[in-house]
Amino acid sequence: MTTNLRVQRYQEISEVLARHGLGFLVGITGLERWVPFHQGLMGHERRPEPYTNPDHLRLALEELGPTFIKLGQLLSTRPDLLPPRYQTELAKLQDGAPPVPGATIRQQIRDELGFEPDEVFADFTLKPLASASIGQAHAATLHDGTPVVVKVRRPDVIPTIEADLDILQNLAVQISHRWEAAADYNLPGIAAEFAQTLRAELDYLQEGRNADRFAENFASDPGVHIPRVFWETTTSRVLTLERIVGMKVNDLTGLDRAGIDRAALAARSAGTAVKMVFEDGFFHADPHPGNLFIESDGRIGLIDFGMVGVVSDKLRGQLGVLLTALVRSDPGRVGSALLDLSVTRQPVDRSRLRADVTRFIALYEGRQLSQIEIGPLITQAIALMRTYHLQMPQELAKLLKMMIMAEGIGVELDPGFNLGEVLAPYVKKLMFSRFAPKELATRIAAAGADAAELAADLPELLRRVVDTLDTGGMEVHLRAAELEPLVGRMERIGNRLVAGMIAAALIGGVGSLTTGDKERWGRWEKPFMRAGLGAGSALGAYLVWTSRRPGGLSR
C-alpha cells in the first residue's frame, strides 16, 4: 500500500463526510487537516424533501466505494450499535458499479485460467448479468452444455480496499479516544472483525468452499438446491457456479401463476434457515429475496455464499436457554442468558436489569414459542441490550438479522406465517439434547476440569490479591449487613465447586479403574461402575438443578 494512496483516500473520506453534512465525524476521527471545507451540502441530487442524517450517511458510504458499502451493510445488521432508523436506511445500500470493460474481463480470465473465455467455455457473454463494487457475474455455458454463472473480481479493487481497511482501523482507535459515547463499544475490535470478514468475501475460493459445505448439509433435502462449484474453472478471482434458474422468492404473481403453495413455501424457506442455525451451525448470512430463487419444480435455490455465519455449540445452547427461559417466564434466566450472549465494558445493574426483563417477558407470559412473533421479540430484546450497552458478538448479530429477514420473507409469502412455529421443534430438540446422558456427562466433566483448574490457580490468585492489599493498591468497603449474603453465596459456590470436582473424579476414575484391570474387578466391574456413575450423575444433576433454579440472576 503506497503512502500516496493512503493520503488520497484520507482526503476523499474527509471531503465526502463533510459534503454530506457529517462534518461532526471529521472532528471525532481527527480528519480536520484533510478537509478543505467544513460545512455546506454540495453536489447533492435535488429532491423536495430534506435529507436526513441517515440519508447522508448512506449516500456518503455509497460514494466512498466497496469497503464502505460493505461496512454500511454490516452496520445495518448491528442493532446493538445503531438506532433502527439508521439500520433501515443502511439496508437500502446499493452495491452497484459501472460494468468492467469486456477487454478487461477477457484479460482477467486469461490471467487466472490460462485461456481465452471462448476456449474455457462453449459460450461466454461479456455483458454482465450484474455488476457490483467487488465483482460482476457473467452467463456462460460449459462444453458439456451445463449453464453456469462466472463471477469475476474487479482487477483494481484490492489496493483500495486494503488502504480503506487500514484507515478504518486507525479511525476506530481515534474515535474510541476522542468520543466518550464510543467508550462502551470495542470499535477497534469491530473494525478488525469487519476486515477479516471482507477479506474472506474477496476470496472466491472461500466462497466456493462455503457453497460446497451448504451442498453437503442439504444433500438429503430434495427441496433445496445449492449450485455446484466447478473447481477446474475457479480461482481466488474467478468463480464458476451452476446457474440457478427460477423466480425470485418475492415474485408473488409468478409464484401464483406457477401454482406454488405460498404458505407451504414460507414454512419451507424458514425451515431451511432455522436448520442452518440449530442443526448445521453454518448459515447463509445474506438471505435477501435476490439470493433466493424458486425453481419450476418448487425447489428453493440459494446463491451468493460470500457472507456466512458460524454458530458454535455454546452459542446454540445459549440461544436455546434464552428462548426456553422466555417461554417459562423466568426473568432470572432470561437476564443471565442476555448477559451470556453479550459483552459489556461497564458494570451492569443486575437488579435493574432483572426488573426490566420482568416487564419484557410479561408481554409473552403464558405463550408457547409457536405463539410468539419472533421479529418483534428480537427487536425488543435488542432494545433492552442497547439500554445496558450490551454488545453482541458479530456472529450473533448476523444470526439475528438472518432470522428477521427469514421471518420477513415468510410473512410476505403468507401473511399468517409465524416463525415461532418453525423454531419450536428445533428449540425443544436442542433443550432435550442438553440433558441427554452423554451431553450431561460431557458438561459435568468439563465443569470438573474447570473446577480443578480454578483450584490449582486459586493460591496464586489469592497471593496476588494479598500482595495488592499489602501495598495499599485496593480499598474494600463492606458493611456488616453485607457480609452474611456474601458468605452464603461463597458457601454455595464452594459446594458446587467441590461437587463438580467429585462428580468429574467419580465419572473419570470409575471408568479408568474398571476398564484398566478387568481381572482384578471380575464380576464386581459392572456393579461398581453403576454405583460410581450413579453417584456422579446425582452430583451432576444437583449442579445443573442449582445452577438453573429461578432467580439465578440475583443469587
DSSP 8-state secondary structure symbol assigned to residue 154: -
HSE (CB half, 13 Å, CA atoms) of 429? 9
CA–CA distance, 167 with 154 (Å, rounded to integer): 21
CA–CA distance, 349 with 367 (Å, rounded to integer): 28
Q: State residue 298 phi and psi, 5-degree precision.
A: 90, -5
N-terminal to C-terminal alpha carbon distance within the chain:
54
How many H-runs (helices) and E-runs (strands) does the chain carry?
A: 22, 11
β-bridge partners, 92: none
Q: Which three cell numbers stand for residue 219?
A: 444433500
CB 420 within 8 A of CB 371: yes
Q: Which three cell numbers stand for residue 222?
A: 430434495
Q: State residue 417 phi and psi, 5-degree precision.
A: -70, 140
Q: Which three cell numbers stand for residue 8?
A: 488520497
User: Helix, strand or coil for residue 95?
Assistant: coil
Residue 143 backbone class (left: φ over 0; alpha: ψ -120 to 50; beta: rest): alpha
CA–CA distance, 331 with 322 (Å, rounded to integer): 10
What's the per-residue H, E or C state across 249-302?
CCCHHHHHHCCCCHHHHHHHHHHHHHHHHHHHCEEECCCCHHHEEECCCCCEEE
Catalytic residue, candidates 80, 164, 286, 304: 286
CA–CA distance, 173 with 442 (Å, rounded to integer): 41
CB 59 within 8 A of CB 93: no
CA–CA distance, 290 with 172 (Å, rounded to integer): 32
Q: In the annotation, is 286 catalytic?
A: yes
DSSP 8-state secondary structure symbol assigned to residue 45: P
Using DSSP bridges, classify how beta strands 135-141 and 147-153 pair: parallel, antiparallel or unpaired. antiparallel
CA–CA distance, 11 with 165 (Å, rounded to integer): 15
DSSP 8-state secondary structure symbol assigned to residue 51: P
Query: Which positions are catalytic?
Result: 286
